[in-house]
Structure 1
């Protein structure tokens, strides 16, 4: 009995969700471990789907890989769990039942911290055990990331002598998350040797049928579809799906019309849904020709041209940006007074943190808009991953683009536990690297879901760089990764050592992305001690602490010493870097104004050749 030979002449009905029927055990349970602890439950579910009309079932191994099992401290059970899964499926199967060894995607809708090399090793291990137990085919399902699925197909075709079914998951019908049309992605899968290409999860039948309307019948491979039951609902603390099993009967017929030959169900589907699919396809023959609906071509318009981005400015000349945090109250007089003074001193942009140290301040976007429109000051807005989920981040970016604010710093953000509201929730749907990639995808006119934005954005994206660490090489490795994700330039934490400035230059001189070196004037000895001992990412030298200690209790001497320290650091920084990032301490903008003027004076003297 051969799966591909059967698909040449028949529509095959596959099973539905496994996790949906096990949901009663809890959402945070490792269902794959049930192969060892509750084999009778897995066997019963397989039998229920077979009796409902499924001739194709999949092993309970979606997350049975090293990386995902490690979340439950079960990574050493990869072999046992996969072996048991195939055994249970075989015991439940009829003579004419095909058993698919399921290998689920790892990256999901956001890229995992696992490297591609780690993912490759993980897949090879799982695939080896599934093949060793004698599955009829491999089912690669729920892959949002094209690179990952292409990689796994390559591994599967090299290691397996059984058919390979490769299925993408879409957020938007018709396109992958990176904006690639599904029809093009299917061609690539077929070129790499996939025997069946398809879609599963995320979309219900309506949108999945809509997606297949744009997909031609493959020349060699077959098509598969495993739609969700419906959109998720939330009732009394539980996620639920619409009870719509009968609806799947007509939907199955429409999928057959679109050339699909293998039809099952994903999240929310039950034996009742599979029974409806079986009734819907009964007597139907595979379709070999269809009218393909032309895809809707949405070309994103080019962004409006504004002044050069900061990362281009700093490559050509000295550039100064200054951080001035927005107020913690609604009294904005001193903030705007400082902003105008800094503008007059000749800064290239005013940068504002996004609720720094997890303490609420006036929205930096609102203040940025006022600075830009009323005062002609270029804003550089920090965006943290802490305060907004994926929906909020996308909405926020679209709002910035609509306001014409195109300079941003993408950062993870201080955890809420250190701020004014330690009981608040830190979101962290994305890492700072993933946020950078998302912003650069906006620059291509594509949303995080893959859908066209109808206009490209022109964000210049800065990334954070903390050089105040023991292992600078490791940190530079993170900078290299951030560049690969799309970072245009870097802004450092404040540095308080000329030796450290030289070390930073030596460690980063191979990077293409420019660096704005952070310098922060001190306000007093007390301020210096606090920064050194309590603020993450900041360390002062013993010499600076000693110098500030001598000014203790004398504000005028403290100011004089602070500016002297800042000038020394600026002199060292300008020997290596074109960009200086001045951090205004405690609304004391007079200090950063003085530093800005000093930088321009120093630049003018050097430009005139005066020593």
Structure 2
């Protein structure tokens, strides 16, 4: 085939379908292994798609980035064989061959950019001129790899395609318009698009929202939505429907590159070929309209806590764990007392230590509704996937809750609770990015929610914790609630945080009264992220409950004074639901500490 760019100026480019679902690999075997174990079978699939009318085919190498990242021996041989089989098949018809790269995991040890670059350069050395990075849920590492490809093969044509749910977000919570904008602005990507996850009808709606960009748009939907049986996953979308929806996109001028993903067979591609051939040829205008890059300006929410915080006043947030049973009577009374004592915000943990309690978001809504108090529910990545998270966020917004605390969450101890599964679809940084992306023009929320994060002042390697704090800010967080300040080192780390992050971050210093020596020893040894100085532990020796509370208050006030120069307020943690103790602490903070500032 001649240059892809020239081809696209005349008519749409038609890809093949889903190799991974059409080729029947042995159960538990990567389809790519067939490049070596069954080359005739792989070549036959390529030939069927070409006979159906495909202008371009993908190498059978989707999983190579994952295999390369895991240092699986022999991935290079799979790349070589996959390229050879596709090139041989395409030579008979003159079709284009795209080196196919699926998603790569991104870790500190092996960054995604390193993996993508290594695999892409392998293909470039084999003679590849066209590259497809597909089924991506983020763009981490992609542009670095594309630039490396262009340095090695300046004439290369690179298509980057993202897997997007029908609501426009990837499984990692990144909005498709933001991804398309970043690819467009990069100056090194030649085409951008969507593939997998969504069926043709949903993808047509998404494509309309992305149409008019400076880059050619690609769509490669699944044949339909999957039907899971006992032994396999099936896609029941009919070829005729598939062809009608996709050719409609081409007729509208929304897309220039089309093809299929999971469940699409040669019959789907043949039907689409016939539909495309029936369309009149269409030439692109010399200067296509550019995708808008205007960023949505945040709109300040009408929230008393945020107004006070942003005005530079010191605030007090207090955490009160939700009940273990279904009775909120006592909890609401405790919240009412803390509000009367002077708390600006009530925070509610999301099943702390991975033990089930009443849902933090539902409790936050009830408190806000009945008491008019600002609330900050914690939201972990442990127990909800993307859909459940979005549903909950929309409910919170509708109830007037405007702040959330995004945290990864304590893992569930698997040895004790084998029947309960962790989710962890994303980490706290990606969750924050997702939450703030829900607001804006044509999005789900008219104004953004404010996202806070956790900051562990007691981390053994605080340099790493501080670096991650900066990353959290870059991903949309506005500030941090810290772990308890119960040591001089914690105070020093708080000072470093303020010095490093400056005014970019609002910081609420954690204050948690220790109430007994047993309590101090337990927190030191069993609660992740808390460190209690040995000197403090020994001070509680022999004290009764009254004496322990008095000493706990005194230490809390001392730590608050030390933390105050570096904090925008305090985040108080209530031990054992002792509301009366926290009423006293709030009163003393207001009269003895905050007055001094």
Bucket of the pairwise TM-score, normalised by the shorter protein: 0.7 to 0.9
Q: Does 1:538 align with 2:530?
A: yes
Q: How many residue pairs end up in the alignment?
A: 586
Specify which of 487, 512, 523 is matched with residue 477 of structure 2.
Answer: 487
Inter-partner Cα distance in structure 1 for 2:553 and 2:209: 65
Which residue of 2 is the match for residue 343 of structure 1?
Answer: 339
Inter-partner Cα distance in structure 2 for 1:263 and 1:311: 49
Which residue of 2 is the match for residue 278 of structure 1?
Answer: 273
Which residue of 1 is the match for residue 319 of structure 2?
Answer: 323
Specify which of 61, 67, 70 is matched with residue 69 of structure 1.
Answer: 67
Q: Does 1:98 align with 2:95?
A: yes
Which residue of 2 is the match for residue 25 of structure 1?
Answer: 26
Work out whether residues 322 and 584 of structure 1, in 8 Å CA contact, stay in contact via their aligned partners in 2. Answer: yes
Q: Does 1:231 align with 2:191?
A: no
Task: Summarize deviations over 1:37-89 as a string: whole Å, max 9, x none.
Answer: 44343223223323434343211122322xx2256541x54432221211122
Greater CA drift, 116-125 or 515-524: 116-125
Shift of 1:371: 2.1
Specify which of 579, 582, 586 is matched with residue 596 of structure 1.
Answer: 586
Shift of 1:160: 1.8
Which residue of 2 is the match for residue 455 of structure 1?
Answer: 446
Task: Summarize deviations over 1:120-174 as a string: whole Å, max 9, x none.
Answer: 3333322222122123522343345467665555444333244514243343489
Greater CA drift, 310-319 or 14-23: 310-319
Structure 2 unaligned blocks of 5 or more: none
Inter-partner Cα distance in structure 2 for 1:506 and 1:378: 29
Greater CA drift, 77-86 or 173-182: 173-182
Specify which of 392, 396, 402 is matched with residue 396 of structure 1.
Answer: 392
Shift of 1:404: 0.5
Which residue of 2 is the match for residue 2 of structure 1?
Answer: 2
Structure 1 unaligned blocks of 5 or more: none
Work out whether residues 350 and 378 of structure 1, in 8 Å CA contact, stay in contact via their aligned partners in 2. Answer: yes
Work out whether residues 213 and 290 of structure 2, in 8 Å CA contact, stay in contact via their aligned partners in 1. Answer: no
Q: 1:57 to 1:326 in 2, by over 3 A?
A: same
Which residue of 1 is the match for residue 44 of structure 2?
Answer: 44
Which residue of 2 is the match for residue 565 of structure 1?
Answer: 555
Which residue of 2 is the match for residue 266 of structure 1?
Answer: 261
Which residue of 1 is the match for residue 57 of structure 2?
Answer: 57
- TM-score of the two chains, using structure 2 as the length reference: 0.86
- TM-score of the two chains, using structure 1 as the length reference: 0.84
Specify which of 517, 521, 534 is matched with residue 509 of structure 2.
Answer: 517
Inter-partner Cα distance in structure 2 for 1:503 and 1:267: 50
Specify which of 244, 252, 257 is matched with residue 251 of structure 2.
Answer: 257
Specify which of 564, 571, 582 is matched with residue 572 of structure 2.
Answer: 582
Inter-partner Cα distance in structure 2 for 1:464 and 1:354: 13
Work out whether residues 212 and 290 of structure 2, in 8 Å CA contact, stay in contact via their aligned partners in 1. Answer: no
Greater CA drift, 533-542 or 349-358: 533-542
SS of 1:511's equivalent in the other structure is helix
SS of 1:180's equivalent in the other structure is helix
Work out whether residues 106 and 112 of structure 2, in 8 Å CA contact, stay in contact via their aligned partners in 1. Answer: no
Task: Summarize deviations over 1:550-588 as a string: whole Å, max 9, x none.
Answer: 32xx22222222223223222322344342211101111
SS of 1:581's equivalent in the other structure is strand
Shift of 1:315: 6.5
Work out whether residues 100 and 133 of structure 2, in 8 Å CA contact, stay in contact via their aligned partners in 1. Answer: yes
Task: Summarize deviations over 1:433-478 as a string: whole Å, max 9, x none.
Answer: 1111112113x337xxxx6226223x22210011212211111111
Work out whether residues 560 and 593 of structure 2, in 8 Å CA contact, stay in contact via their aligned partners in 1. Answer: no
SS of 1:515's equivalent in the other structure is strand
